[in-house]
Amino acid sequence: MGNYRERLRAPASWWLLGLLCVALFGTALWAGFSVAVAISVYVVLGGGCAAALLIWGGAKIEVADGELRAGQAALPLREAGEVAPLDEAQARAMRGPRADPAAFTIIRPYLKLAVYVEVSGSAQATPYWLAARSRPWRRSRRRPPPPPAPYWLVATRNPGALAAAIESSRPVARTGDSSVG
């Protein structure tokens, strides 16, 4: 079984840019007030910026137990069709002009590479209204079903390793299938 785990953390440059924005905006808000107001302005702005970057960078990509987990969604690998690591130009096209509005994407602007995972079988056939209204996972500890999508586009720092982990974690019954490219 090829296991893979990655957290889509924001890079240090984004943290530095956030710090610069907090300093500039905080100084503009603080001008003319007391030191206590300055401290509270910087704490609130800095805390808000840090919280936003931590929440945004908290998404996890994981391949384990026969599933691809991206954020809160999980795709059983028996439902995965073609898997392809994408370079920067291909990923840009799949995020932009070639994108399908029904596709499930977990992308970040600071990650230029991605993996394309075709969804086949019953996961693709689930109607949106049924998936949106029926929420048995709210009453139990089960993961939510995968969103009905023709494909998943998952941003990653290492698309080759993620694609290899998906391929090696597929159930044995799917390895002889000729639909996988």
CB 7 within 8 A of CB 57: yes
Q: What is the pLDDT of residue 29?
A: 87
pLDDT score at 73: 87
d(Cα 12, Cα 22) in Å, to the nearest integer? 15
pLDDT tens-digit profile of 47-103? 999 999 999 888 999 998 888 999 888 888 888 889 999 999 999 999 988 888 888
Strands 151-156 and 104-106: parallel
The model carries a pTM of: 0.73
Structure tokens at 42: 């910087």
Q: What is the pLDDT of residue 176?
A: 47
Chain segment 140-170, per-residue pLDDT in tens: 556 655 557 889 999 999 999 999 999 988 8
* Cα 35 from chain centroid (whole Å): 41
Note whether 73 and 147 are within 8 A (CB). Answer: yes
Q: What does the pLDDT look like over 98-131, one tens digit per residue?
A: 888 888 899 998 999 999 999 886 554 444 444 4
pLDDT over 90 at 7, yes or no:
yes
